[in-house]
Amino acid sequence: MPSAAKIDLSSLPEDQRDLVAELLREHANLLAANTALKAEATDLKQIVKRLEHLVAELNHVVHGKKSEKLSEDDRQLAFEDLETAVAELETQHDDRASANEALRRKVVPAQRNRGNLPADLPRTEQIVEPNSLECPWGCGQMHRIGEDRTERLDIVPAQLRVIATIRPKYACRTCTDGVTQASAPASLIEGGLPTEGAIAHVLISKYADHLPLYRQSQILARSGVNIHRSTLADWVGVAGFHLRPVVDRLAEHLKSSGKLFMDETTAPVLDPGRGRTKTGYLWALARDDRGWGGDDPPGVVFFYAPDRGGQNAERVLRGFDGTLQLDGYTGYNRLTRPTRKGGGPIRVAHCWAHARRKLKEVFDRDGSEIAAEGLRRIAEFYAVETDIRGIDPGQRLSARTVRTAPLVAAFGEWLQEQRLRVSAKSRLGEKLAYIHRHWDGLQTFLHDGRVEIDSNSVENLIRPIALNRKNALFAGHDEGGKAWGRIASLIETAKINGVEPFAYLKATLEAIANGHPNSEIDDLLPWNFKSTS
């Protein structure tokens, strides 16, 4: 069709001019749309190429040879970066499509959790009115017939506020016998600067969000509030002191159980005398009966000790008589002896995850077929555990007796055969010897439906300690290590019971400041907390 520049509309009959003009406009629009489509097709090819690269990267993170060497946190960071890149590409595509009005179409969102906006979040309404409410046809003022409503999440940085407490004084105009005034509200730090909410925020930031005090001090300074790190440390110390009875009571509850988990993790502590750090330890004592539907709520207490000596485990477990699930650390051996202090010999249940890990190390390094066979056999035990998780102990025990016990017996025979074939001094021989040394403890789960096949529950609970260690670097003193363990105990116990840690700590500190009676201390345990919001 000739272009508009070559057609003189005035030369056409009057009844044809409008039709030809409309056709010319459609032609121009089609040319523009064609150009836009070609440009978008080029962009889409580039986007697809990059997405293919990102998918390959994601597969490498999940299934690559080094995937098992990545910690959970490293893996999450990889996912975050990849998802950020995908979101960037999706935004680029959407922006290109919206720029071309003739090509605008509804884009099907990716099948991903985009988040949700809970009903109890505060909402600020922003009403956008048209520039004019006058009818364009001159009919007068238009009337509202409905609305479109969209909601977006807005984030306001932490807002600091000052609570000014005013206590009016009253006196009688007739007599002069005295002045009446309300008592000052109770506070955890008498005459101090922070509210209990402010103290709770510092605790959560340090021990749950892994933000060291000096960084918190810097963040506060950006809002114009200059509070030195040492002052924040004082707040933490005061809170740790007042929360100690709650943690002690939590430990008593755990040690009254018939089965617990135990593990230990390093807690670097500054050693001022040598100008460097020394290695302290946080010993984690945990209860988690959710695997068999137990009635007792889950919980964990971290006990700080300056070293890894087995006497620390003995001290922590004073008063406990039951089954203890743990790894193969030799420091625990004293717990099974008749001479154990604080109770009779403890029955131990060793961890199949650690046994599996020993074989996995050899397989990853050497590709050992013997290690591969051991891993395959252990996987059969775990397949049964997946089927029976959450059912009552009696059913678990029956299933293990019928399905797992023969597999474990066959594994024991296979283990002895391989130990005769493999040099005891080889890497594989050492790993097989480890499993052999703990063979009795590895069979405990076959005789008690409450016992788990491994101690992964407590290992998951100590992961936040490792995160805090990575960010805070070290505790400043042995006493700092104790406070670390104390506060972390309450935070992690709250989390595994579905309790929001900040709300719990704030309410607990307020209750303590108001003189909560020691006889009712159980009310302050995390699993008994009930939010008032």
Average pLDDT over residues 12-29: 71
3-class secondary-structure state, position 513: helix
The pLDDT of residue 466 is above 80 = no
Unique residue bearing structure tokens 């440009």 = 39
Tell me the pLDDT tens digit for each residue of 183-221: 888 888 887 888 999 999 999 998 888 888 888 989 988
- Looking at residue 484, its pLDDT comes to 81
The pLDDT of residue 65 is above 60 = no
Nearest to 203 by CA among 248, 173, 241: 241
Model confidence at 89, pLDDT cuts 50, 70, 90, reads: low
The pLDDT of residue 504 is above 90 = yes
Nearest to 226 by CA among 193, 270, 262, 178: 193
Q: Helices 14-63 and 72-99 sit at what angle, rounded to 10 degrees?
A: 170
Tell me the pLDDT tens digit for each residue of 97-139: 665 554 444 434 444 444 566 777 788 887 888 888 888 888 8
272 is written with which tokens?
Answer: 């001022």
322 is written with which tokens?
Answer: 């039951």
DSSP 8: -
Unique residue bearing structure tokens 């961890």 = 351
By the 10 Å C-beta count (0-12 exposed, 13-18 middle, 19+ buried), 400 is classed as buried
The pLDDT of residue 347 is above 60 = yes
Interatomic CA distance for residues 451 and 442, integer angstroms: 11
Contact 438, 261 (CB under 8 A): no
Average pLDDT over residues 365-389: 94
Those residues whose C-beta lies under 8 Å from the C-beta of residue 488, and which sit 6 or more positions away, are: 207, 282, 302, 464, 465, 468
- Looking at residue 213, its pLDDT comes to 84
Query: Which of the two residues, 387 and 273, has the higher pLDDT score?
Result: 387
Interatomic CA distance for residues 70 and 76, integer angstroms: 10
pLDDT > 70 fraction of the chain, expressed in percent and rounded: 77
- Looking at residue 176, its pLDDT comes to 66
What's the length of the chain? 533
Question: Which range in 175-189, 268-282, 455-469 is most confidently predicted, on average pLDDT?
Answer: 175-189
Lowest mean pLDDT among 14-23, 134-143, 175-184: 14-23
Nearest to 513 by CA among 48, 173, 200: 200
Q: Residue 14 is inside which H or E element, if any?
A: helix 14-63
- Looking at residue 83, its pLDDT comes to 52
Average pLDDT over residues 495-523: 94
Contact 65, 114 (CB under 8 A): no
**Residue ranges of domains in the chain:** 179-244+490-528, 257-478
Interatomic CA distance for residues 203 and 449, integer angstroms: 38
Average pLDDT over residues 30-38: 79
Indicate the average pLDDT of the chain: 81
Interatomic CA distance for residues 520 and 514, integer angstroms: 13
Question: pTM value?
Answer: 0.72
